[in-house]
Amino acid sequence: MASNRKIMVLPGDGIGTEIMKANMRVMDWLAKHRSLGFDMQEGFVGGAAYDAHGTPLTDETLADSIASDAVLFGAVGGPAYDDLPFELKPERGLLALRKEMDLFANLRPAIVFPSLVEASTLKPNVVSGLDIMILRELCGGSYFAEPRGIDDLGDGSRKGYDTNAYTTPEIERIGRVGMDLARKRGGKLTSVEKSNVMHSGILWREVMTALHAAEGDGVELGHMYADNCAMQLVRNPKQFDVIVTDNLFGDLLSDCAAMLTGSLGMLPSASLGAPDPETGLPKAMYEPVHGSAPDIAGKGIANPLAQFMSFAMMLRYSFDQGAEADLLEAAVDKALQSNRTGDIMTPGCTETGTEGMTDAVLDAMDRLAR
């Protein structure tokens, strides 16, 4: 089957290898039933790479990842690596990939499947049907901008400080991703900052407003202060479609939005970079939000759905295969109607493992595709 879609597959550690194996079955289904093939290359990352090569990410794996159209990532980490020096820890492999691929846009959808409404801590009428996207700037702001550090003040005390700085191009490039996303979804973009008290927020609002005036056809832009956004997310989250915000606020608001859905095993994410000048495709990495879950690794009980939905995001955002992404997400919802892994188990459903849940999703794809 001819294909020019190059995927770098990095299962990682712990349940990462188990849920990636399950994801391969979904890919096989798409190859067989939709003639959707991928050129796949697999590599080690995290603890697995340390075991094989003494480093959490080899130069070769990094180069192959950069050369691919998209990276599908599992999870890294585990107690066996806890005592390694900082630079050799499994998580450094993940951070190096994000940095070297310049993945500045982090997409975290918060979707509440009808069958999982009861898993949220919020009232069903607040979260049922929820489908929002938090877009977080990932390479700038408080976590990277200079100056930052801890200074000795010479009087027995110290000063710790970070800088929340953003330049016009940094705001514009994340704003463009926000508008593109809004166009592919409900057409509504909410830009979030604190322009009432922060200079970086004033510039953020000015640049977003100008960008929208110049390039925002088909997108309705609104502005909101970050503290109000946190309140609105738990009061009435369905008022949002896409939220675009900086690194620090995005870190907090995306975790808050994620928990509206009730379960870590259900949360996908995508990190995108600038479009490639030749292919027009953004550099991209897709991964579940959860970690390697050492407590359940090797038991065959990990929930594979966050991995599947990360793959669905890959189909939609890297390969423009929206119909296949929709099919996979619909199959996940259908499978959830009676099947549950332990992390989302509710009375009345059948408890199953990674393989059983994958069978249920593939079965639902068979039925939906008829």
Q: Are 226 and 245 in contact (CB under 8 A)?
A: yes
Residues 182, 185, 190, 192, CA torsion sign: negative
Q: Rounded to the nearest whole angstrom, what is the least distance from the CB of residue 319 to ligand NAD in the complex?
A: 22
- Told to check if 11 binds ligand NAD by CB under 6 A, we report no
* The one segment of 110-118, 191-199, 272-280, 288-296 that binds ligand NAD by CB under 6 A: 288-296
Q: Which of 89, 194, 283, 334 is catalytic?
A: 194
Give SS3 for 95: helix
- Is 162 considered catalytic here? no
Nearer to ligand NAD, 241 or 287 (CB): 287
**Which structure tokens are listed for 340?**
């549950």
Q: Shortest Cβ distance from residue 341 to ligand NAD (Å)?
A: 6
Asked if residue 292 binds ligand NAD (CB under 6 A), the reply is yes
DSSP letter assigned to residue 277: T
Helices (H), 107-151: 124-127
Q: In angstroms, rounded to a whole number, what is the distance separating the alpha carbons of residues 59 and 345?
A: 41
Q: Is 9 in the site for ligand NAD (CB under 6 A)?
A: no
Exposure on the CB side of residue 343, measured as CA atoms within 13 A? 21
Q: Which residue intervals of 119-265 are DSSP H helices?
A: 124-127, 168-184, 199-215, 226-235, 247-258
Cβ of residue 345: shortest distance to ligand NAD, in angstroms? 10
Residue 333 parent element (H or E): helix 322-336
| Span from 54-62, 105-113, 221-229, 300-308 in contact with ligand NAD (CB under 6 A) | 300-308
Q: Quick check: 23 binds ligand NAD (CB under 6 A)? A: no
The H or E element containing residue 32 is helix 15-34
Q: How far is the CB of 13 from ligand NAD (least distance, A)?
A: 8
Cis amide bond preceding 147, omega within 30: yes
C-alpha angle 294/325/249, rounded to 5°? 60
Tell me the two tokens of residue 131.
């489908």
Residue 195: closest CA among 225, 229, 221, 228: 225
Site for ligand NAD in 187-206 (CB under 6 A): none
Residue 286 annotated in active site: no
Of 206 and 255, which has the nearer Cβ to ligand NAD? 255
227 is annotated as an active-site residue: yes
List the beta bridge partners of residue 8: 41, 71
241 annotated active-site: no
- How far, in Å, are 134, 209, 246 from residue 206 at the CA level? 20, 5, 14
99 is catalytic: no
User: Shortest approach of ligand NAD to residue 48 CB, angstroms?
Assistant: 12
Measured distance CA(303)–CA(344) in Å, rounded:
9
Using CB under 6 A, which residues numbered 30 to 89 contact ligand NAD?
A: 75-78
Element (DSSP H or E) covering residue 144: none
Among 26, 62, 72, 94, binds ligand NAD (CB under 6 A): 94
Catalytic residue among 64, 102, 131, 143: 143
Q: Which is nearer to ligand NAD, 87 or 217 (CB)?
A: 87
Q: How far is the CB of 288 from ligand NAD (least distance, A)?
A: 7
> Catalytic: which of 255, 276, 320, 366?
255
Site string for ligand NAD, 247-286 (x = CB under 6 A): -----------------xx---------------------
Nearer residue to ligand NAD within complex by CB, 203 or 296 = 296
Which residues contribute to the site for ligand NAD (CB under 6 A)? Answer: 15, 75-78, 91, 94, 264-265, 287, 290-296, 302-303, 306, 341, 343
What amino acid positions are annotated as catalytic residues? 143, 194, 227, 251, 255
